[in-house]
Structure formats: C-alpha cells, structure tokens
Amino acid sequence: MKQFTRVMKALSDPNRVRVLKLLQRENLCVCNIQEFLKLAQSTVSRHMKTLEDAGLVEHERQGTWIIYRLTDNQESVYGAAMLAHLENWLEDDKELEQMRLKRDQVIENTKLCIT
C-alpha cells in the first residue's frame, strides 16, 4: 500500500506528470527539466525525488550531471500500470504543448550540461 500511495502522490502534481510526458520522448538532465518547467533547481530536484521514490523514474550520473529516464518499472506494479496509461494523459495541456515546441531551444540552452 505504501508504494501505491507514493505513486498517487507523485502523479498528483501537474508538473511531475509533465516531466513524465517529456521523459517519454527522451532522457533529460535536471537542467533541461528546470528550463522546461521554469522552476528553481531545488524544486525540480524535489519533484524528481518524489518521482524516483514512486518508482516512475530512475537516474544515471554522467560526471556532475544527473540524467533522468522513465523506469522499466519491474519493481512497482502500480508505477508500471500508471506509466502504461501515460501515453494519453495531458494531450490537451497547453503548457505541455509549449514545452514540446520549445524542445530544441531548451536543449540548445542547456547543451553544456550533457557534453
């Protein structure tokens, strides 16, 4: 039940769901996510910790950078179920659409963090 609660908490925030939607397309570092959401690095890190605790994302360290990706969710049946339905979520969300349109600009602005 604890894992279910963590997944529901993680999905209760629109910014965290937007991050999951962005991670469907590609792996992103914290600086990319920060640029997309226009939030402070500490706020983004807290969001990512919540998503990671729920078993929805995992990270990989590349030098000083942390790169996030969706998990394969073998550990959390609840997380796996939610990520399986993620494809259709927020398809009419204007903010998410604006983030997607700005993708190239965001990646260009933050390209130094991944090299």
Give all domains of the chain, ordered by start, each with its CATH number. 2-107 (1.10.10.10)
pLDDT for residue 17 is more than 80: yes
Q: Tell me, what's the pLDDT at 73?
A: 64
pLDDT in tens, 26-72: 899 998 999 889 999 999 999 999 999 999 999 999 888 889 999 87
Which has the higher per-residue pLDDT, 91 or 51? 51
Sheet holding 57-62, edge to edge: 28-29, 65-70, 57-62
pTM attached to this predicted model: 0.81
Q: Tell me, what's the pLDDT at 115?
A: 46
Q: 5-10 contacts: CB < 8 A, separation 24 or more?
A: 6/50, 6/53, 6/54, 6/55, 7/54, 7/55, 7/56, 7/76, 7/78, 7/79, 7/82, 9/50, 9/54, 10/50, 10/51, 10/53, 10/54, 10/56
